[in-house]
Structure 1
């Protein structure tokens, strides 16, 4: 497993919010749902994205935007159009003065908007859960990622557009997987762009010394690594690896490994019923106590508290 695969393995939608929005001008939607990650694809027409505190960005037909939460933003046919619809946490829709629009905007199965034949059609997918591996991804992203239709060249967007309005057995699972695949396709393309300002670990992936070291850490995070053992595996001196790794990745090898292990532990706490002892062994800690101490330093809560908070609902954010 390489570093990018490890990072992109984090977003695994579980009952994600997916919607086809069909709108006629003038239209403007204020997004305040605070979802940790949202994907907006222009299936037809164009739109403007106005992040709070950021510059307006135009998306044309076929373009895909990935928006990092929990910041608020507005999507509209024109930057000058005032918001008419406000989307709150839990995907509750109102007018700016608070009047519910739940029935007025309902256009059928996962369909919503002001006009079923509107010239602007957006496919929206919002991740409601923020797991720890996804947290590492969020930390690596800018507030908005934009990938143009000509650059993406993926059949996933029209497929999502077809599937999003179907009402078949198991459809939620189909849509979750399509959302994951489209997100990964977009981010993989974005990370490869020179202007993307990708994080240090991504740029280091191509280094002849640090790249193999990163791949080893991701492939075997539970192995009892030391800097000396890692250096021996990649054919470098301990000092050379430590210096090069820190310069390219931005943190020492063992600090990177600790973050990787704790991210995997958090993912397992969220998505499995494994005991803390079993999770500790899987991610490279000798005992549940050792994992618990490290986890609390990183997250601010114990593993048990983290798991309990996750079970309570998607909006609970421990730490």
Structure 2
């Protein structure tokens, strides 16, 4: 498995909140749902995205914007259009002054807006939760990562557009997987266009020595790896391997192995069926006490406390079944 596939494997939509918006100007939506990541596809027209981080991006038809949370943002026809609609963590909508949304209404399955045709049409997919490991990818993105229309992404966005307003058997699962496809194609296209933002391990995976060692670590974190063992597997002397690894990764082999194990452990804690003891074995620790000690040192909280923080926020509990009112 390549580096990007490895990191994105845990970033899968589950009952994601999906919405098609049909809008005639003037319009301005203020989003304060604090979602880990939102995928916005502009199907028709134009729009501007303004993040609270200060980044502003113009979108044209076919563009994708990856909006990295938890910072709020505004999407509008023009940057100076006053905000009219506020959307909160539970995907509830209200006007700025709290009055009823008389000009915005439900227009069909997963569809709303102020027009039945819409000069601007956009699709929004909000991920409920995000993998801790996949977060290493998302943290490398700018707050608003824009991917311009391309042959790489258009087939994915076209499928999502075709299916988002349908309501057949298995539709939620189908839409989740289509949203995953849009996210993955957008992320890899963005990194190809912004190599300076790519995480170190993407380039390191291309190196025949360090790439091989990373695959061993990523695929078998439970193995009792040592620097000498990794160097032998990579066909390199211990000293040369350690220097080369540190130059590529900015951290030594043992340090990286520890970080990876504890990142995987953080993701495994999201599964309530797994005990700390079983997770310890899966990531190469001799006992739950050893894992707890290392985990607390690295993450700042115990595995038990960390597991409690992974419970979905308010918007995640209701997004899958909600409809914009």
TM-score scaled by length of structure 2: 0.90
Instruction: For 1:62-211, list aligned pairs within 5 A.
Output: 62-99=62-99, 101=101, 104-150=104-150, 152-211=152-211
Contact 1:43 1:123 in 2 (8 A): yes
2:216 maps to: 216
Q: What count of residue pairs does the alignment treat as equivalent?
A: 316
Cα-to-partner distance string for 1:65-106 (whole Å, 9 max, x where unaligned): 111111121111112212111111121211122335499432
Change over 3 Å in CA distance of 1:125–1:312 after alignment to 2: closer
Cα-to-partner distance string for 1:175-197 (whole Å, 9 max, x where unaligned): 11111111011112222235452
Q: CA RMSD in A?
A: 2.1
Question: Equivalent residue of 2:13, what SS?
Answer: coil
CA distance in 1, matches of 2:284, 2:290: 10
Deviation at 1:153, TM superposition (A): 4.2
Deviation at 1:20, TM superposition (A): 0.5
Contact 1:261 1:284 in 2 (8 A): yes
CA distance in 2, matches of 1:150, 1:2: 22
TM-score scaled by length of structure 1: 0.91
Question: Equivalent residue of 1:259, what SS?
Answer: helix
Asked which structure has the greater RCO (Cα within 8 Å, sep 6+), the reply is 2
2:319 maps to: none
CA distance in 2, matches of 1:12, 1:102: 36
Moved over 6 A (4+): none
Change over 3 Å in CA distance of 1:103–1:23 after alignment to 2: closer
Gaps of 5+ in 1: none
Change over 3 Å in CA distance of 1:272–1:176 after alignment to 2: farther
Question: Equivalent residue of 1:133, what SS?
Answer: coil
CA distance in 2, matches of 1:102, 1:173: 32
Question: Equivalent residue of 1:43, what SS?
Answer: strand
